[in-house]
Homo-oligomer: A and B are copies of this chain.
Amino acid sequence: MSTAPSDLDDLHVIIPAGGAGTRLWPLSRAGRPKFLLDLTGSGRTLLQQTWDRVTKLVPPERVHVVTGPRHADAVRAQLPGLTSVFVEPSPRDSMPAIGLATAVVLARHPEAVVASFAADHVITGEDRFADAVAQAVRTARTGAVTTIGISPRSPSTAFGYVESGAPLAVDGAPSARTVVRFVEKPDEETARAYLRAGTFSWNAGMFVTRADVLLGHLARLQPTLHAGLQRIAAAWDGPDAQTVLEAVWPSLTRIAIDHAVAEPVSLTGGIATVPGRFGWDDIGDFAALHELGVSGDTGVVWVDADGLVRTTGGVTVAVVGIPGAVVVQTDDALLVTTVEHAQRVKEVPAALAASGRTDLV
């Protein structure tokens, strides 16, 4: 029944589903994080959109979601076709999450290529996405850890960048290049220089790699973490899986895949990149949501104002004299801000938590 392309037979997709999205409060909450929400009004949550996208490339049984215990039930409920869920006992950042799934996949499929795609990004242009994934998989088979870099639309200071170097001449992946370096979120002047240079792309955290290659890098760069993951993977298909997971997990180094593997390996030429020429957004805040053209409520009365209004319905909203207004209401909370201040929304759940109102966080 699978319509997955036959040339991706070795591909497994890992979807790390974590991160609360505190800049999207009050829509996103600790117990109802961004990836579980239908932010774009499409009728599908961001997690479901991710699932829909990757199950066009691989059959459902080769999709693995890594999430926290608080969200495992919601993940299963949203994805009835999902067969593989890894429940992290506690959040340890992206390397343990992706590493766990990779180690288990590797134990079962020694030739597997794994691709990691965040659960809460928006992508448009699925053909271009599929093409980028196919080129990345072909590049990864050569032994390179391959990142899909997003062709930048603007000199954004909200993302890290990937600088590409020489073409790699991979068969079937004409766009693949070596990665010169990863750079952290730049200031605006630097971002403008990157955009002019034409050799920088946004780091969207999309990594495609042979499972054995990733684990090999880990063994060398993060041996303790690697050993822990190996212990869990060895027990995974046996009766002690949960016991071992819970015993070992807290000892794993808390580190992002960028710091654990991508950056150090780039120094020795082991990272490749292929360009992602599809539409992409991580919807980091309400300004991003507004920029995506999400219209929000209809029937809003705007007087010398515009912006994004989103309520639970049944209420007529009027905004007077505030360009770029952001008005977001849930059953128990109401946020009023502007797109200009969208980044600071994360201070609201922080303030609520500090004053003990954890029910609202």
Residues of A within 8 A of B (CB): 25-26, 301, 303-304, 311, 314-322, 325, 327, 329, 331-338, 340-341, 344-345, 347-348, 351-352, 357, 360
Contact = CB atoms under 8 A, between A and B. Distances in A.
B316 A336 contact: no
Q: Which 4 A-B pairs have the closest CB atoms?
A: A321-B341, A320-B337, A318-B348, A317-B334
Contact of A301 (B316, B322, B331, B348): B348
A332 B341 CA distance: 27
A321 B334 contact: no
Contacts of A315: 329, 331-334
Nearest to A318: B348
26 contacts: A26-B316, A304-B341, A304-B344, A315-B331, A316-B332, A316-B333, A316-B352, A316-B357, A317-B334, A317-B335, A317-B336, A318-B335, A318-B345, A318-B351, A319-B335, A319-B337, A320-B336, A320-B337, A320-B344, A321-B337, A321-B340, A322-B336, A322-B337, A327-B334, A327-B336, A336-B336
A301 B25 CA distance: 12
Given A303-B344, A315-B332, A316-B352, 15 more contacts: A301-B351, A303-B347, A315-B333, A316-B333, A316-B357, A316-B360, A318-B348, A319-B335, A320-B335, A320-B337, A320-B347, A322-B338, A325-B336, A329-B334, A334-B334
Contacts of A334: 311, 315-318, 327, 329, 334
A332 B314 CA distance: 6
A348 B26 CA distance: 26
Contact of A303 (B301, B303, B340, B348): B348
Nearest to A337: B320
Nearest to A347: B303
A289 to B, nearest CB: 15
Nearest to A345: B320
Contacts of A331: 315
Contacts of A25: 318
A272 to B, nearest CB: 41
Contacts of A316: 26, 332-334, 352, 357, 360
Contacts of A348: 301, 303, 318, 320
Contacts of A351: 301, 303, 318
A329 to B, nearest CB: 7
Contacts of A357: 316
Contacts of A338: 320-322
A318 B353 CA distance: 13
Nearest to A330: B315
Contacts of A333: 315-318
A321 B336 CA distance: 9
A234 to B, nearest CB: 48
A256 B240 CA distance: 88
A336 B319 contact: yes
A356 to B, nearest CB: 12
A209 B321 CA distance: 43
A65 B299 CA distance: 38
